[in-house]
Amino acid sequence: MSTLQLAQSQCSDDSSQWCRTILDWTGNPWLANYSKLLIATPLKVLSIIVLAFLVRYMLHKIITKLSSTNGHPPRLLQPLRERNEGSVSGETLAEQRSQRARTLGSVLKSIVSFVIFGFAAIYILQEFGVNLGPLIASAGVVGVALGFGAQNLVRDFLAGMFMMVEDQYGVGDWVDLGEAIGTVETVGLRVTTLRDVNGTVWYVRNGEILRVGNSSQGYAVAVVDLPIAHSSDARRAQEVAESVAGTAAQREPLAKDVLAKPEMLGINQITSDTITLRLTAKVRPGQQWAVQRLLRAEIKRAYDEADIKPPYPAGRLMPDSGEQQ
């Protein structure tokens, strides 16, 4: 039997049509016998790779479109919980939305790429006849080992994901993270960056954050404690402070920050030297400290005019200062 006839016989037994097709086209028995390995398998692998990149490109385009702002809230954030729009300024809210959408979009793109290329790799290995059972088992063991070694990193990323989804805080918020207190500058999946009142930048790992105190959501409360002497009329001091605070809250610069009329709570504390009155005001988030300073200045001026005495006479130092009168 000739070589050509032998090749034709082998091609007739082959379930693939590539052998006979290549043999008819080229008349080369060797090329026909290895047509599946040399032509069919590479073409299938190439088609899998091209299809994977096309699907990845399309999904990335969709995620980019969903996470873009274009002057409107990102559609990617619509199914998620979001803070009240009145809690922060429009510019800050837009920046928070933009960074939150970009971060979530980046995570989704990474997940999409990992899943698509993972499946593509599996299909490609199957084309080469690789037994995936032992490979998957080995990958599982390696994954467990890496998981134990990088558990802190995984915890940071998971904590960052939940913070993003739940919108616990955002750029521009004043937060208390335990070890660090300050204004949020960036929110990442692994690290949150704060800047405190002294200008120090703090990098806090998300996995180490056990509790978050956010002073920039909804509204804040300005608390003004007013110490007066025992010899002063406490009732008159309360009336003067409430009247002055109410008037000041209706004028600039306080009018834009105070959300409700200041309320005098009354005597908050009595010591052997001092009577302390407490006044509160509902204000815009993040503005409580500025409001407190301005209200103290206005009330101090009114107390001087009304002859309401401070707890210690002028020229006398506090007893715990260690100095004599």
Give the H/E segment covering residue 187: strand 181-187
Mean pLDDT for the chain? 77
Share of the chain above pLDDT 70, in %: 68
**Spatial separation of the C-alpha atoms in residues 169 and 155, rounded to whole Å:** 18
Each residue of 224-275: pLDDT tens digit? 999 999 888 999 999 999 999 999 999 888 888 898 899 999 999 998 889 9
Question: Is 3.40.50.970 the CATH classification of the domain at 220-306?
Answer: no
Confidence of residue 145 (pLDDT cuts 50, 70, 90): low
Domain ranges of the chain: 1-67+97-130, 139-217, 220-306
**Spatial separation of the C-alpha atoms in residues 232 and 201, rounded to whole Å:** 45
Q: Please state which CATH number belongs to domain 139-217.
A: 2.30.30.60
What would the mean pLDDT of 14-41 be, rounded to a whole number? 57
User: pTM for this one?
Assistant: 0.54
Could you tell me which residue, 97 or 283, shows the higher pLDDT?
Answer: 283
**Spatial separation of the C-alpha atoms in residues 47 and 38, rounded to whole Å:** 15
Share of the chain above pLDDT 90, in %: 24
Residues 6+ apart with CB under 8 A from 232: 275, 308, 309
pLDDT over 80 (residue 307): yes
**Spatial separation of the C-alpha atoms in residues 234 and 232, rounded to whole Å:** 6
Each residue of 194-203: pLDDT tens digit? 998 888 999 9
What's the confidence (pLDDT) of residue 14? 47
Tokens linked to 108: 């989704």
Confidence of residue 322 (pLDDT cuts 50, 70, 90): very low
Which range, 37-41, 46-50, 78-82, 215-219, has the best average confidence (pLDDT)? 46-50
In this structure, the chain runs to a length of 325
